Amino acid sequence: MAQITASTQDHLDVEEIKNDFVILKNGTVSAVIQTTAVNFNLLSEIEQDAIIAAFSMLLNSITFPVQVSIRSKRLDISKYIEKVKRTENKISDPLLKHQATAYRKFVQDIISENEVLDKRFYVIIPSNPFTPTSTGSGPFDFLLKLFGGHSRRFHVNVDTTLKAAVRDLVPKIDHVIKEFNRIGIKAKQLTTQELVELYFDIYNPSTVHGQRIRTNIDDYKTAIVNPAIVEE
């Protein structure tokens, strides 16, 4: 009789999240930078030209691969509506109470007719591209997956991989953040806590928005789905 264990973590690309970096199972280490946005249409023509010129300089200054990701998520503002309603019930002045009621109904009408989206902007900076010989990942790996095969698994020494990648990534991170600041966009590298919450939210979209995940004892490594045990 043999026991076969399986876990959803086996199908994830993430090996570990440590020291504000994401370590993938192929040995790549990535930093995730979150940025604010600029409402381009509200700027004057001169300001728009300045933004375009500065953004062109930013692109020309980047000599390493980056990935830009925009994540849109439906925003749950039911708690905000409840807060407004509680405030409304405390108002004794009839005129102010009427205005508060009108505001609450206005917001409720908007969200009933339109989806309120929370948009987040990310720039992902990976470490130096890995080589097929060191990671087992080649240009034709997709054929193995297409025909039901699986690429070979490689043991990733997290500490050694991370130490080598940090030397490469830190100057790139500083450069990208400074260049974004030039065009009035605030940028920051996500911390370990923020990365864990981001990935948890991506893989658990139905979970309550804003749930806090503890990471002080590596809770993010704990399997959410218990492995199945098959007896033969």
- Give pLDDT tens digits for 98-121: 898 898 888 888 877 777 777 899
27: left (phi over 0), alpha (psi -120 to 50) or beta: left
Residue 3 has a pLDDT of 56
What are the E-state strand segments in the chain? 3-6, 14-18, 21-24, 29-35, 67-74, 117-126, 187-189, 228-231
> Hey, how many other C-beta atoms are within 10 angstroms of the C-beta on 216?
6
Residue 155 has a pLDDT of 73
Residue 74 has a pLDDT of 78
> Hey, how many other C-beta atoms are within 10 angstroms of the C-beta on 193?
16
Residue 142 has a pLDDT of 41
Q: What is the pLDDT of residues 121-156, one digit of tens each?
A: 999 999 864 444 444 444 444 434 434 444 445 677
Residue 39 has a pLDDT of 85
> Hey, how many other C-beta atoms are within 10 angstroms of the C-beta on 129?
9
Residue 24 has a pLDDT of 86
CB-based contact 173:125 (threshold 8 Å): yes
Domain coordinates in residue numbering, the chain = 7-71+118-221, 76-115
> What whole-number distance in Å separates Cα of residue 65 and Cα of residue 125?
7
Stretches where the chain sits below pLDDT 50 are: 129-152, 207-210, 217-232
Residue 158 has a pLDDT of 85
Backbone angles phi, psi at 116, to 5 degrees: -90, 115
- When the pLDDT of each residue in the chain is averaged and rounded to a whole number, the result is 77
> What whole-number distance in Å separates Cα of residue 69 and Cα of residue 121?
6
